Every structure is written in structure tokens, then in C-alpha cells.
A and B are shown apart, each in its own frame.
Chain A
Amino acid sequence: MIETILFITIRLYKLLLSLYPAEFRKTFGEEMTEVFYESLQTAADAGWGDLRTVLGNELRDWPVSCLRQHLWERNRLLLPESSFLSGWGAVAAALPFLLYFFMSFGPSISREVLLIVFGVAMVAAWWQRWPGWFVSWLGFLILFGQNWLPYSLLGAGPALNSLPRLLNMLSTVVFQTGWLAVMYWVVHRWPRYGVLVFLPSLWMPWAFSMEFASEAMTAVVSNAVFIVSALIAVTISVQRTSSGDVWLLYAGALLPGGLLTLGSVLFTPGMVNAWVDFGSHLMQALAPFAGILLLQSLNAWGREHIAQRFTHRMTAGALLMFMARLTMVHLYGPSGLTAFQLSLTPVLTAAGLLGVLLVFSGGWRLRTHLEPAGKRHLTVMSVMLILLPLLYYAPFLTNIVNTLIYDQPNFIRLRTVPPALQTVDSVVFAIGLVGLLLLPLTIGWLRRQTAAFPTSTEQAGLKAWRQRRRERRETRNRFGTAWLSPKRLALLLAFTILLAGGIFFVAVFLPLQLKAEPYTQQIALGDLDSDGHLDAVLANTMRLLPHAENRILYNDGSGHFSDGNQDIGEGGTGVVLLDSDADGDLDVVVGGMIGGIEFRNENGRFTPDDIITSHAPESGASQFYFHTGDLNGDGIPDVFMAGCCGTGISRAPEEMEWVAPVNRVLLGSDAGLVDSGQALGVRGSQAVALGDVDGDGDLDAFVGNTQSNRENMRNDEPNEVWLNDGDGNFSDSGQLLGDQRTYAVALGDVDGDGDLDALVGNEGADELWLNDGEGRFTLSDQPWSKRQTLFVFLVDLDGDGDLDAVTGHQLTGSFAWWRQGLIWWNDGSGRFTRGEQRIRFLPNAALAVGDVNGDGRPDIISGALDEVTVWLNEGDGRFSAVDQ
């Protein structure tokens, strides 16, 4: 027993030792371990009390002694040999940032004054032959220039927002590069305080946090993350500089960007697409890192050991491959490729291959200088790294093959992703990720191995380069070196544009393309052909343009569906079935960007009727969702029409007015559905469930809200309860429930107390709101899925008399290929237990629940565009898929 404890303790001790500076560890590590072991043994012989004392002593002292050792070694900080900027050059480079701050917090400066200031800077830069400090000014010009573009170029819709976002990212990259050049100069000028300069350099991530934080609490949390990460950055900078790698010091300073990214994703509720934002932030955090590599290579190329060049090359290659991987997993559509995405394939393929080439060329050159042990180490690492591009290509190629096979011009849906391929993908990704994480350690190890490398410039062919650099230094004037020759400037601009362009494509354009894919928003089940079986109506749309046709699929009674070849329009965001003309059969109402359209069922054929509510600018909503019921007690079904998500109306060239979405009530009559004229709520509703929540005998509405354009695009709109007076007139109950985007709502008495409770499917964790019987809801502590939930249903699946739940979720990351349905079993008291079975369905499919085979048990149906998949309820808690 005691031996085991000692063994484990020593292992842990060695782990703690690894955080000491490398040189200290090398000198004293073994000796410290021996002494510690000896202390442990003596203490163990004396008893548990002494053992606890020794262990506590070590643990208590370890952080302080470790940090002290790092700080002690900081005195040997190696600094860049020269700066790109002179003192005046650094001041000139810093001026745009001072202007930026002044304009952010002080009075605004007119466009004319800014243009004059920039003109003066440009003339000075031209006079100085485009020196380094001009980079900051370029970023400044792009940042503010975007605000001066004609309004017509910017547009109002999400697709057109890409231009300002591109410019914003471009300015960020150039701005940060300029800022880091200033920091570089400060480090060079005041080496003793070099680390401190990174504190102000972190203002950019801070600005990001403010931009993306949508509420005060989020901003506080994000900034807390930022401050902690800043401290970590400083500590790491101190640690890394002891090894003499200045570029790592910069990388340490950039760490907050990455951590802030995580903070934003974790703590900002209701993001449109957290992973897209994650990718965007991450790449923005990496962009300056790439800029630093460029600066470093310009300044120090050939100055360090030859080995450093090769390890840099390997790092850059690995990063390139990993970014390609991120692109693949998070931003390419799992369900299809657009023509544009397909055309981008060669570019990404080249990027991936370039990464492979960089890793291997660097590794090969290193290998020739290594001892046998080092060669083995390098081989292992290289194998791990090569797995990254492999996994990058495998699923991607599958998608391309599908596209080519089906030979459709625009949008192709990936039919299947073989499970084996997914497994390989996950395993390879895990290994590759470990390889990437090990990369810094491996490179550090390699550097120690290659400490004896020749620094011979002849061998590296760098003598001529050094000569040229000396000559350039002689051209230094009081504004700093003219290191940005026209050729260099062109290269830098090209690099910047490529980088920003890459970020734009990866983080903005591709997601928009992805969002343009066709998908099924909602499925409604009902007996349309009066054969006694539930048929399916699929509301199909695309996120940007309503090109996907809605479908009616008829059920043969066994759960097999076939296309009914009915024309019920396109671009459906919601669908509801009701007998709107009171002729005894179900009609179809679909919602799209232009409002709700009623399709009358006339002997099995559907013909379009009037547009129920047109898309007048004042209506605001551009997507519509429905729930039906007799709202005014006249025996004819009515419709509650929820509207989302606001519209931008351009009333002047530089003004855009956001019009809030409203919900409407459509009352059934002999003439069909008629808009009652009520405008209910402005919070952007994407789900509604009707039910008598206050027990007064009429149907009230529980409305799930997503986003509105109040207060600069809120993503945290609470849900509302609208109470019916019995005549179909609704009034706000005043309740504001939750603070997340809500995509689905279901009402049902889950706890058997006779009133209707609400299950709410959210962007984050779902919620169960319990009714007190009078329509007042309180949040249950019942834990639910924390994934994005798009569908919820309350239905008695197992016939035990209580309502169970089915929820449908969008998966993320490597699992983004799928959506997943979960089954929750109710114990009768409103406590739910998640079932073992996972229902996997396509990421462009919707979910519905209904008895499609007439056995009296509710089944689960997913539908994507023109086909459905059915999971029949076996009655024993299991659902089995039916071949269509």
C-alpha cells in the first residue's frame, strides 16, 4: 500500500517538476527527485502524520518556487537584435492606435479631418519610402474606410454583410500587425520591461469581447476570462523567454485571444452559431501569430541556429494543416457542397498539401542533424502529424464523390456517411490532435538536441543575405529603417490580403454558403387523403433564398412514404394542417418569407389560395411558424402565427431601420383564414404551442422567442405567455421566461397535476417550465440536454399514461454530420430519464412524432426535403428504423 502511494507520489512529483525551467530541471531535477523520495521514505516510516506534512509542504511551496525560478531566469531574456522601427517610427506607428482610442472614447472626429490626417501620414510614408510604421496606418484606413463606403455596397441582409465583415477582419489583421511592430520596438528599447508591453497589446481581444458580449453579465465574465488569460500570457512569456525564443513570447501574448474565444463561446448565450464564431475568433487570434512569423522571419532569418528555421517551418505546416481541418469539420456542409465550395477544393487541397510539405521538408532537414534517438522521436511525431491531412481529405473526398455521382449543378445532398469512415475520422483526428498538442514539446526537445548545430551561414547559404541586411541597416534614417521597400510592401500587402481573405472565406463566406443549403424546417403530420393514415408535409427552405420546394408525402399505412407530386410552394419555414374551409378535409398552410399561404385541399389536390398576410415592411417578420386550434370557440380551427426575426428597412442611403417581428392571430371562417389584426410581441418568435394554460377553457399561447432587433440584435429574448380572453383576443401575461434562443415548445401535463407545463427547446440547455395551474410558470430543476435543440414533443410513447418527451438536437464539431433525437421517459411525476437509444438523422432534416403505422403507438419520423425516415415504436421502449 505504502509503496504504491510512494510510487504514485513520485510520478506526480516528476510531473510538477516538468513545469520548472528546462535548465533548472536538467541540473537539479534528478537530485530533487532523489531527495524528495528520501524525505518521503523517512516520513512514511514515521507515520501518516509526517507523510502528510512532507506532501503538504511540497505542494504549498511548489507554485511559488516554480514561479520564482522562472522569474530568476528572466534576467537572461534574449531580445531581438534590432527593431524595424526607430523611436520616431514607433511613435508614428502608434499614432493610429491613439487616434482609435480617442475616437472610441472621446468626441468623434469628422471624416474630412481624418482624411487630412491620413493624407499627411501617406505623404510622410511616401517621403520615407514606405517605412514600417505605415502598416498601422493602413489598418487604420481600412478600419474607418469601411464606414465611408456607399450604403448600397453594404446592404442589409446577412449575405451582404460579408463585405463589411471582410473589411473589418482585414483591418484587424493589418492593425494588429502594425501594433505588434510597435511592441517589438518597445521590447527592444526597454528589455527589462518587455513583458509588460503585452498588457496594453491585449486591447484587441478586449474589443472583441465587448463586440460579441450581448449583455452586461456576459461582458463581465468574458472580461474576467480575458484578465486571467492575460496573467497567464505574462507568466508564459516570462517562462518562454528564458529559453531565448522571442517569437514564443509573442505567441504567449496572443494566448488571450484563443482563451477569449473559448470564453465567448462558453459564456455568450444565444449565438447564432457558436462554432462559426469560435472559428472566426480562433482564426483572428491566429492571424497575428502568422504576422509575427512574418516579422520574425524578416528580422531574424538566419540569425538563429539553422535548426530554428526548420522547426518554424514545421510549426507553420502543422498550423496550416490544422486550420484546414477546422475548415473541413466546422464550416463545410455535411449535407452537400455548393458549386462554390467545390471550386474552392483545389485551394484547400493545396493548403493542406503545403502544410504536409512544410512539416516534412522541415523534418527531413532536421533529421540529418539528429542523433538516432532524435530521429525516432521525429518519425513518431511526423506520423502523427500526417494523420491530420489524411482525416482532412477522407470525408471531404466522399462528399466530392457524391457530388460528382449525382451530377447536379448546385446543391447535392450527401446521402450517407459510412459509419466506418466516421470512426476512422474520429480516431485519426484524436491522434492528430495529440500530435499537434505535442508539437511544442517536441520542438523544444528537438532544439535541445540540436543545440550543437552549426550556425555557419555558409552552410545555410545565408551569407549573402546577411550582407544585404547590413546594407539595408546603413540606409536607416531618423524615421527608422526603410524595411518596407516597394517589393516588400507588395509582399506584405499580398500576405495580408491573402490572410484576411482566407479568414473571410473560412469564417464568413463558407458559413453563409453552408446556410444556403436546402433543408426541412418543419414536418406536419395529418391524414390528407382521408385514408386513415398520417401523411407528411415537409416545409423546405434555404436560409437565404426560398428555392427548396415543399413536399407532401403520402403514407401507405405501414410507415412507408411516397411523394405525392403536389405543388405546395417553396421556401416553407413552418407548416400547419387544419380544415380551414370547413369542408371536412385537412388543408395546408405554409409559412415563408412572404407570409403564410393557404393551400386548399380539393379532392386530394392542393391549390393555392390567398396569401394570408403579406410581407409588408411594417410586419417585420420574414419567417413564420404556426400552431392551430379553435381560438375563439366557434368550432372552426384558427391559427396562431409566430413571426421571426425582424427586417431591415432602408429609408435613407446611410440609415437602416429595423422593424420588429410580430405574431399574428388568424381566425378561421367560412371564407378561410382571416387576419384578426392583432400584433402580439416584438421578440422574434420561432415556436408557439397552444393550450389552456390558465384553466379558463380557451387556448392560450406559449411563445418561444429567438432574436429580435431591439437593442442592437438581442439573442436572449425571453419567452412569453399570451392569454386568450375566449374570443381569440390575446393579452400579454407579463411573464418573461428564460434568456436563450428558443426553437421549439411543447405543452403538456407532465407532472399529472391537471395543468399544462411547457418543455422548451433552446440554443443551450433545454428547460421544463411547470405550471401552477393559473398559467404562472416556474423553472423546474430537471436537467435536460445542453445541445442546441430544434424539436421537442410531449407524447405518451410507452402507453403508461404520462407524457414522455422526444427532443431533436443539432450536433457540433466532428459530429456535425448528424442531428440526434433523444427520448426521455417520464416516471409520472414529471421527472424524466434519458433513454439509451439515439435517433440519428440528417442535419438538414426535421423531426416529427406520430402513429404512422396505425398500431396505436407514436412513432418518430425525420424528413429531409423529399424523403422521410421512420422509426417505429416497438412498444418496449425501442424504436427501429424502417426501410423506405
Chain B
Amino acid sequence: MDVKTNLPLSEATFFIFLSLAPRPRHGYAIIKEVAALSDDRVQLSTGTLYGALKRMLDQGWIERFDERIGNGREERKAYRLTDLGRRILDAETTRLQNLVHLAREQTAGSKS
């Protein structure tokens, strides 16, 4: 599968990717992590979050699983990146890096 056909990602999706990169998280934890990563600039609503999660699930970028909490007697749904998801994230990160690199080159030239 050519991961580049799925790029670019929306900002919300990219931040969700970033929040899941270190470790799996459940829905509320994703919201909090995205807010923290973006300095509270990106506040995901539940509709936006789960709309994005559904599409990521449908595309096979993330997995949904039952996470045990408390004494292990309760469960809640959590999400983690799949291998395909990590490749998508890497590709998007590379794309953004190239863009930033390009931008710096061009703006540096204009200043001189």
C-alpha cells in the first residue's frame, strides 16, 4: 500500500497520531494529550475525535482493544497504532519535515 496516497493528514488526525505514538490511550486521554501537545490550541470535541478514530480504524491505521483499569475488573476501550499507522505517521512527519526545510530555505533566501 502506498501510504503517500493518504497524505496529507488533517491537523486533528495528525495530533491523534502523535498522542498514540508513545503508547495506547483511551478516548479522554487522547483529548487531554492532544490539548497538551498543542498548548491547548487544539481542543477535540468528542464528535471530531471519534469521527477521526472511526476513519482511522476503517483504514487499519489503529486498533481498538479493551484496556483493563482499576483492579482489572473493569474494561474500557483504548486505541493503539498499527504498523500501517506508524508508517502513515512517519510518512506525514517526513512530508512536514520536507515542507519546513523547504520553507526555511526559501525564507532564508528572501531575507538575504
Whether the pair A72, B55 counts as a contact (CB closer than 8 A) is: yes
Q: Most B CB atoms within 10 A — which of A28, A54, A69? A: A28
- Per-residue CB proximity of A56-71 to B under 8 Å, as 1/0? 0110111011101100
- B-contacting residues, A37-87, CB 8 Å: 38-39, 53-54, 57-58, 60-62, 64-66, 68-69, 72
Residues in B whose Cβ lies below 8 Å from that of A65:
45, 47-48, 51
- Contact among A27, A35, A72 for B46, CB-based, below 8 A: A35
Chain A residues near B48 (CB-CB < 8 A): 61, 64-65
Choose among B26, B31, B51 the residue with the greatest number of A CB atoms under 10 Å from its CB.
B51
- Judged by a CB distance under 8 angstroms, whether A657 is at the interface is no
B95 to chain A, nearest CB (A): 23
Q: Is the Cβ of B27 less than 8 Å from the Cβ of A58?
A: no
Nearest Cβ distance between residue A398 and chain B, in whole angstroms?
53
Does the CB pair A61–B54 fall under 8 Å?
no
Evaluate contact between B51 and A57: CB separation under 8 angstroms: no
Is B46 in contact with A58, judged by CB distance below 8 angstroms?
yes
A371 at the B interface (CB under 8 A)? no
User: Which residues of chain B have C-beta atoms less than 8 A from A28's C-beta?
Assistant: 50, 53-54
The yes or no answer to A31 lying at the interface (CB within 8 A) is yes
Q: Chain B 32-68, CB within 8 Å of chain A: the 1/0 string?
A: 0000000000010111111101110000000000000
Which of A31, A53, A60, A64 makes the CB contact (< 8 A) with B50? A31
Q: Report chain A residues within 8 Å CB of B31.
A: 35, 39
- Are A36 and B55 within 8 A (Cβ)? no
Q: Is the CB of B47 within 8 A of A61?
A: yes
* A34 within 8 Å of B (CB atoms): yes
Best-surrounded residue of B31, B45, B77 (most CB of chain A within 10 A):
B45
What residue in chain B is nearest A24 (Cβ atoms)?
A: B54
Question: Could you tell me the distance in whole angstroms from the C-beta of A56 to the nearest C-beta in chain B?
Answer: 9
Q: Is there a chain B Cβ closer than 8 Å to A32's Cβ? A: yes
Query: B54 near A27 (CB under 8 angstroms)?
Result: yes
Q: Which residues of B contact A68 (CB under 8 A)?
A: 51
A/B pair count, beta carbons within 8 Å: 56
With beta carbons under 8 angstroms apart, the residue of B27, B28, B51, B77 that contacts A69 is B51
Q: Which of B47, B54, B55, B77 contacts A66, CB < 8 Å?
A: B47
**Looking at the complex, which one of A35, A60, A61 makes contact with B27 (CB distance below 8 Å)?**
A35
Is B111 part of the contact surface with A, judged by Cβ < 8 Å?
no
Does B76 make an interface contact (CB < 8 A)? yes
Q: Mark A565-605, 1 if CB is under 8 A from B, else 0.
A: 00000000000000000000000000000000000000000
Contact status A31-B45, CB under 8 Å: no
* Contact between chains at A57 and B27 (CB < 8 Å): no
Interface residues of A in 612-628 (CB under 8 A from B): none
Nearest chain B CB to A292's CB is how many angstroms away? Answer: 32
Q: If the complex has contacts A31-B77, A35-B31, A38-B28, are A62 and B54 also in contact, measured as CB distance less than 8 A?
A: no
CB-CB under 8 A for A57 and B54, given A35-B27, A35-B28 = no
Q: Which of B6-46 contact A (CB under 8 A)?
A: 26-28, 31, 43, 45-46
Tell me if A69 and B46 are in contact (CB < 8 A): no
- On chain A, the residues within 8 Å of B47 by CB distance are 20, 32, 58, 61-62, 64-66, 69
Q: How far is the CA of A35 from the CA of B32 in the complex (A)?
A: 11
Q: Which residue from chain A places its CB closest to the CB of B26 in the assembled complex?
A: A35
B17 to chain A, nearest CB (A): 18
Name the B residues within 8 Å of A64 (CB-CB).
47-48
Whether B46 contacts A32 by the Cβ 8 Å rule is yes
Given known A-B contacts A31-B50, A39-B28, A69-B54, A61 and B76 have beta carbons under 8 A apart: no
A559 to B43, CA, bound (A): 77
- Within 8 Å CB of B26, what residues of A? 35
**With A and B bound together, what is the CA distance between A196 and B76 in angstroms?**
41
Query: Is there contact, CB below 8 Å, between B54 and A34?
Result: no
Q: How far is the CB of A15 from chain B (nearest CB, A)?
A: 13
Distance (whole angstroms) from the CB of A498 to the closest CB of chain B: 47
Instruction: Name the residue of chain A whose CB is nearest to the CB of B55.
Output: A72
Which residues does chain A contribute within 8 Å of B27, judged by CB atoms? 31-32, 34-35
CB distance from B49 to the nearest CB of A (A): 8
| Whole-angstrom CA separation of A696 from B76 in the bound complex | 89
Q: Mark B89-100, 1 if CB is under 8 A from A, else 0.
A: 000000000000
Nearest CB in chain B to that of A73: its residue: B54
B43 in contact with A53 (CB, 8 Å): yes
Tell me, in angstroms, the Cα distance from A54 to B32 when the chains sit together. Answer: 12
CA of A31 to CA of B48, assembled, Å: 14
9 A-B pairs closest in CB distance = A65-B47, A61-B45, A35-B27, A38-B28, A28-B50, A32-B46, A35-B28, A65-B51, A58-B45
Extra contacts, 20 of them, besides A36-B46, A65-B47, A69-B54 (Cβ < 8 A), are: A27-B54, A28-B53, A28-B54, A31-B76, A31-B77, A32-B50, A34-B28, A35-B26, A35-B49, A38-B28, A54-B43, A57-B45, A60-B45, A61-B45, A62-B45, A65-B45, A69-B47, A69-B51, A72-B51, A72-B55
Can you give 8 A-B contacts (C-beta < 8 A)?
A: A24-B54, A31-B76, A31-B77, A32-B27, A62-B45, A65-B47, A69-B47, A72-B51
